[in-house]
Structure 1
């Protein structure tokens, strides 16, 4: 499903953000990447999501090489194969919950009635059937993240990338969001790659990968 091959990344102001990262994730797995702030984990997630390009190396998603894609092709791949969940939700404030969820389908050219039906079904699946017409400011943090998860999944992606999905939530709400992601991973078979600094949340995943100073640690080097 996901093959990261010898990825390195440097910026002018920040050399050696990533150093020869190799990673393979099988289809249907729920994998967490843990590491301190500045370790390179979010940069790696952006490169996997075709939001940034590596300085060297390549990423293959479902056999498709990201290195060969132009910007338009990368945007198409993101919309077709990848769902994103962010720490800050990234919901549009003037849109209702269902309208936010339906956005990826709008960009695919799906008609209004069809995208509304699919958005409502996904909101029901994440337990928000009674909040479909609420705007983000009318929702709690946990509810906003559920809307963001529904938006990530409405297009039936093969891969979901979650960047600190519980980072803005209290521990109880964060656990609920993690349980939801775990259930959706099992029920839908979607592959999830999650960046987190919270090891308690990471331990709920199938596999933990630790990154430090731009490189992935071996099992012997990883903290408990």
Structure 2
């Protein structure tokens, strides 16, 4: 599903170029649940942005679904993101003026799904994450856990092959975080979607099928749960 080959990435600062990712290669098979683990500044968020085609590497290549990603064309990168990738963020990033179902339906709008089909698909996905009775609620009427479920429904409504989750439980209490992780595992199993989750929480990472640890822009450990 995902392959990175010799990825290099540096950022320019007033003091010069700062390397973030260093000759990083990685392959993640389909339908896996993988955690990318590392402390702040290790490069894990930069790596997630490159995987999600939100940033481009200085050198190296990204392959999604067996094909090389075209970073040279912003339109093609956007098309690939919309077709293959769903995103879940720590801050949820729901639009406050939209109801839950309207937030979930946004990716369908970008994929030119007919208007008459968007609401039924959004409602069905909210049912899948246990929020069918909150479809007409706005984000300020939902708890943190409920907003995370809306964000998950939005990420999955267009049936992506790859789901990228950036600290998805970071703003949740321990009980709600555990529920969110259980839901992620259920969706991983039921939808067959590959999940790559960035976290600094080692205990959370250990519940995933695979743990990839990054430090100073390099992979220092790659283990699978027995």
TM-score, normalising length: structure 2:
0.95
* Residues 58 and 67 in structure 1, CA contact (< 8 A), matched pair in contact too: no
Aligned counterpart, 1:7: 7
**Which secondary structure state, in structure 1, belongs to the residue aligned with residue 221 of structure 2?**
coil
Where do residues 59-74 of structure 1 align in structure 2 (5 Å cutoff)? 59-67=62-70, 69-74=72-77
- Contact 1:3–1:23 at 8 Å: present in 2 too? yes
Give matches, 1:8-47, under 5 Å: 8-13=8-13, 15-47=18-50
Please give the per-residue CA displacement for 1:139-186, whole angstroms capped at 9, x wherever unaligned. 000100000000000000000000000011111100100000000001
Distance in structure 2 (CA, Å) of the matches to 1:55 and 1:189: 32
> Superposition RMSD on alpha carbons, in Å?
1.2
Q: Name the SS for the 2:163 alignment partner.
A: strand
1:111 match: 114
Unmatched segments (≥5 aa) in structure 2:
none
Alignment deviations for residues 8-32 of structure 1 (CA, whole Å, 9 cap, x no partner): 1001026111111111100000000
Aligned residue in 2 for 1:218: 221
Q: Which residues in structure 2 correspond to 1:74-85 (within 5 Å)?
A: 74-85=77-88
Query: Which has the higher mean CA deviation after the structures are superposed, 144-153 or 9-18?
Result: 9-18
- DSSP 3-state at the match of 1:54: coil
Structure 1 residue 218: Cα displacement: 3.3
Which stretch of the first structure deviates more once superposed, 6-15 or 54-63? 6-15
Displaced runs of 4 or more, over 4 A: none
Question: Which protein has the bigger strand share?
Answer: 2
Structure 1 position 199, deviation (Å): 1.3
Task: Tell me, in whole angstroms, the C-alpha distance in 1 between the residues paired with 2:222 and 2:192.
Answer: 26
In the alignment, what sits opposite 2:161?
A: 158
Q: In 2, distance between residues paired with 1:215 and 1:19?
A: 6
Structure 1 unaligned residues grouped into runs of 5+: none
SS of match in other structure, 1:218: strand
CA displacement 1:61-115 (0-9 Å, x = unmatched): 0012114550000001100100000000000000000000000000111122211
2:59 is matched with: 56
- Note if contact 2:84-2:161 (Cα within 8 Å) is conserved in structure 1: yes
Structure 1 residue 167 and structure 2 residue 166: aligned? no
What number of residue pairs does the alignment pair up? Answer: 220
Aligned to 1:202: 205
> In 1, distance between residues paired with 2:77 and 2:195?
19
Q: Hey, what does 1:100 align to over in structure 2?
A: 103
- Cα distance, 1:120–1:219 mapped onto 2, change above 3 Å: closer
**Distance (whole Å) between structure 2 residues aligned to residue 112 and residue 120 of structure 1:** 13
Report if the CA contact (8 A) 1:8-1:20 is conserved: yes
Aligned with 1:28: secondary structure? coil
Length-normalised TM-score, structure 1: 0.96
